[in-house]
């Protein structure tokens, strides 16, 4: 079975630090496709790496912080924009950052990352190929920037030049109503997946890495339960499994991933605690290589935790208050020691320490103020 390697979609990349596979993953199937995270190491590995945290959302700025070994955040500056950068992504070398602006006529902005202090310099911006872009990612080669347009259900492939600047779309497709995310796995011959909240399916494509063209797989879509609203998808970094969080019915689905990139549903569980009442929507999902899976609940305002067995199946392990309101997004840092949550409703970011044995979360310090955050991610840089 051909191996797959996961593109860094969020900024939670290891930046060249070799973490090694946790011992308890030795039971993964020997013939499984192994979507190992492509960390895209910064070029200067002779200097200590500095973790920079980027926070953005529905305010015209991208804020950055440094993350200490104890999990403390220290402000390191802001970059002003004219739009609202609701989601971010970095290229595999950590030299370029891309942001979507959820305007009706969507835009994707490109920035160069200063390797010494994390500061951003605007390079250019181009059309997202549709309306209301909600998500952006970069393929494993760094040559293609992928964008999902929530407003009209289209997706686009944008060429990235050697200097990080963007060109007009090489391909656009209608993926499905409310395309909420676009994520790729694999290196030389990648696959691309698009959860479509309004269509109740995940669209599946292959990506031609030479020409930036998408082609539907067979089947072209994988159905989710009616009115479930698939929102985001995350791939296991060490085994051939994927996990999708459904926004509308607050559920999590586990998938097996074939060598041809097709998803097959294995199991669906609720993201909510027993007896939870009131309105809730699922938002973000991430997999920890220690065989833990996390999702965020907006309304219940907590992070759900599952443990994963060697066959990729989930067992509910508990819930942790997000430390604020409306946890829109979260990510795991490059050392796998911290989980950072963007609480959009309470305008703050909260850092949690991850227990390496159980995956349990413990808040580190007080919340850090951030205006209406919808993204938080960590990237390692050489630093000054």
Q: What per-residue confidence (pLDDT) applies to 320?
A: 98
Q: What per-residue confidence (pLDDT) applies to 4?
A: 43
Class assignment of domain 5-19+32-381? mainly beta
Tokens matching residue 335: 């050392």
**Which stretches does DSSP call E strand in 27-106?**
36-37, 50-57, 59-67, 73-80, 85-90, 96-101
pLDDT in tens, the chain (384 residues): 233 433 333 333 332 222 233 333 333 332 222 222 233 344 444 568 999 999 999 999 999 999 999 999 999 999 999 889 999 999 999 999 999 998 788 999 999 999 999 999 999 999 999 999 999 999 999 999 999 999 999 999 999 999 999 999 999 999 999 999 999 998 778 999 999 999 999 999 999 999 999 999 999 999 999 999 999 999 999 999 999 999 999 999 999 999 999 999 999 999 999 999 999 999 999 999 999 999 999 999 999 999 999 999 999 999 999 999 999 999 999 999 999 999 999 999 999 999 999 999 999 999 999 999 999 999 999 987
Domain boundaries, the chain: 5-19+32-381
Using CA atoms, how far apart are residues 76 and 58, in angstroms rounded to an integer? 20
SS3 140: coil
Q: Which residues contact 19 (CB under 8 A, 6 or more apart)?
A: 289, 335, 336
Q: What per-residue confidence (pLDDT) applies to 25?
A: 31
Sheet holding 120-127, edge to edge: 85-90, 96-101, 107-113, 120-127
């Amino acid at each position: 079975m051909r191996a797959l390697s996961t593109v860094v979609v969020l900024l939670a990349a290891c930046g060249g630090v070799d973490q090694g596979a946790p011992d308890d993953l030795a039971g993964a199937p020997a013939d499984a496709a192994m979507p190992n995270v492509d960390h895209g190491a910064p070029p200067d590995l002779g200097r200590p790496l500095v973790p920079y945290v980027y926070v953005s959302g529905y305010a015209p700025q991208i804020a950055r912080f440094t993350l200490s070994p104890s999990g403390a955040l220290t402000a390191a500056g802001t970059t002003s924009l004219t739009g609202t950068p609701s989601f971010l992504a970095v290229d595999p070398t950590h030299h370029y950052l891309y942001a979507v602006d959820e305007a009706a006529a969507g835009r994707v902005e490109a920035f160069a990352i200063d390797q010494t202090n994390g500061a951003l310099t605007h390079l250019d911006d181009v059309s997202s190929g549709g309306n209301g872009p909600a998500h952006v990612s970069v393929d494993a080669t760094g040559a293609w920037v992928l964008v999902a347009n929530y407003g009209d259900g289209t997706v686009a492939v944008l060429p990235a030049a050697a200097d990080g600047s963007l060109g007009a779309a090489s391909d656009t497709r209608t993926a499905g109503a409310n395309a909420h995310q676009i994520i790729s796995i694999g290196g030389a011959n990648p696959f691309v997946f698009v959860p479509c909240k309004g269509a109740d399916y995940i669209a599946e494509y292959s990506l031609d890495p030479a020409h930036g063209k998408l082609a539907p797989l067979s089947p072209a879509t994988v159905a989710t339960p009616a009115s479930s609203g698939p929102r985001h998808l995350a791939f296991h970094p060490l085994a051939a499994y994927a996990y999708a969080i459904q926004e509308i019915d607050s559920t999590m689905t586990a998938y097996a991933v074939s060598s041809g990139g097709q998803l097959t549903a294995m199991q669906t569980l609720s993201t909510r605690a027993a007896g939870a009442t009131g309105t809730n929507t699922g938002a973000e999902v991430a997999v920890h290589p220690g065989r833990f899976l996390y999702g965020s609940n907006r309304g219940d305002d907590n992070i759900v935790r599952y443990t994963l067995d060697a066959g990729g199946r989930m067992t509910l392990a508990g819930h942790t208050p997000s430390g604020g309101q409306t946890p829109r997004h979260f990510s795991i840092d490059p050392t796998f020691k911290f989980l950072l949550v963007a609480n959009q409703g309470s305008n703050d970011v909260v850092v949690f320490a991850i227990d390496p044995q159980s995956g349990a979360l413990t808040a580190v310090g007080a919340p850090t103020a951030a205006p209406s955050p919808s993204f938080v991610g960590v990237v390692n840089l050489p630093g000054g």
